[in-house]
Amino acid sequence: MSLRFIGSDFIASVKSWVRSPGTVFWTILFPILLIMIFGAIFSGAQNVEYEIGVQNLDDQDDTGFTQSFTMILDNIDVLKIKTLDKGENIENFMVDEDISATIVIPEGFGLNVSTFNVSQNDLPVNVILYVDPADQTTSSVVRAIITGVLQDLNMNVTGGVNIIGLEEKSSIGEDFEFIDFFIPGIIGLTIMTSMVYGSIERNTKFRKDGILRKLLTMPVTRAEWIFSKMLFMLFLSFISTSVILVVGTLVWDLNFKLNIFFPVIIVSTSFMFSGMGMIIGRFVKEEETADMAGGAITFPMMFLAGTFFPLEQMPDFLRTIAQFLPLYYVNEGLRNAMIYEHFDKTLYFTGFVLVFAAIFFIAGVFLTKWEED
């Protein structure tokens, strides 16, 4: 083993790295982004507060038991209670208030508990917990808290006999699983990464190889060339999306709906992130540096736009940042179109995706040049 060669090659590699300011910059920035993102997400975990709804259908209880139960919920530090009116629709309330769990105290709850007869094998008096399958974190925490409260009540009332049970229902009428809500985020993430990196690779590689300069001598306009490439990128977007849906359906028995908003969001997302890639490729010349710059752009969106972590788990300032990220509107648009089927919210998020698509793609087209600087 030649230590002299190893040392010389190492020094040469370091010098080559230092001579590329862009590479040095993104090499240092990327780990900074990692620690800042994950630190911000998890540093405030001990201060998390979970908003839940409580609908009391037993507001005429004379035993005082129902009132005691609601007071216990009010005194739990990690829970922030929002009260529903007696006739209010639970699903609409959870969507409008953006909460993931709601407790319903049934009519006659206090009387049924106070007159429960173990010897007659009466059925348990159930409290109903409505959960949003999209937010497994909040649902799990609230479920554990309510289960613990009910266990304490059973112990105090009967010495341990379970006269109060917990019945869980989905806030959505159909039987959806968490994977159904996870898939729209994966679709958005897949299109984002393939479009951004595809545009970066195409522009930087073609510029380095002199292909863009040679296109000046051909009877083709810049717009024609860009849109021909976009057709190919759109083709890849629909292929990858179809593969995700088909495999997910076969393996995980996905439950989703397809409507006119779905292809609109897919096409808009493709144009949006292709334009973003063109912008990055315009200002970053080297292929290696361009890839790192692309990662620095897509990586924060991957984790801050609600693809993997529910926004409720993040501090308030990160939730605010998420609303400035294009991927957030893609994820929410696809979920509302494919899962919730809320027309007004789908239209709202789709509108933002279309605006972002127009801004980024038009900017990318104007900034893409065939001539060398």
Query: 208-225: per-residue pLDDT in tens?
Result: 666 666 666 667 666 677
Examine the pLDDT at 352 and tell me if it is beyond 60.
yes
Please state the rounded mean pLDDT for residues 193-219. 72
- Return the bridge partners of 169, or none: 130
Give the pLDDT of residue 15.
74
Q: Give the pLDDT band of residue 26 (cuts 50, 70, 90).
A: low
Please state the rounded mean pLDDT for residues 197-201. 80
Q: Give the burial string for 23-41 (b: 16+ CB within 10 Å, else e).
A: beebeeeeeebeeebeebb
Examine the pLDDT at 193 and tell me if it is beyond 70.
yes
Give the pLDDT of residue 35.
60
Give the pLDDT of residue 74.
84
Q: Which residue is associated with the tokens 């994977």?
A: 179
**Top mean-pLDDT range of 1-5, 121-125, 153-157, 235-239:** 235-239
Examine the pLDDT at 363 and tell me if it is beyond 60.
yes
Q: Give the pLDDT band of residue 32 (cuts 50, 70, 90).
A: low
CA distances from 201 to 112, 122, 288, 352 (A): 68, 69, 10, 27
Give the pLDDT of residue 329.
94
List the domains of the chain with CATH numbers. 3-43 (no CATH), 45-170 (3.40.1710.10), 178-367 (no CATH)
Examine the pLDDT at 326 and tell me if it is beyond 90.
yes
Kindly report which listed range (38-47, 76-85, 93-102, 252-261) carries the lowest average pLDDT score.
38-47
Q: Give the pLDDT band of residue 230 (cuts 50, 70, 90).
A: confident
- Return the bridge partners of 170, or none: 131
**What are 248-305's pLDDT values in tens digits?**
888 878 778 888 999 999 999 999 998 888 888 777 766 666 777 777 788 888 878 8
Give the pLDDT of residue 265.
94
Q: What is the rounded CA–CA span in Å between residue 225 and residue 200?
A: 15
Please state the rounded mean pLDDT for residues 26-50. 59
Average pLDDT, the chain: 78
H helices within the chain, ranges in order? 3-18, 21-43, 65-74, 90-97, 109-114, 136-158, 178-208, 211-214, 222-252, 261-283, 287-304, 316-322, 326-335, 343-367
CA distances from 10 to 16, 21, 24, 28, 288 (A): 10, 18, 16, 19, 19
Nearest CA to 262 out of 358, 335, 357 is that of 335
Give the pLDDT of residue 212.
64
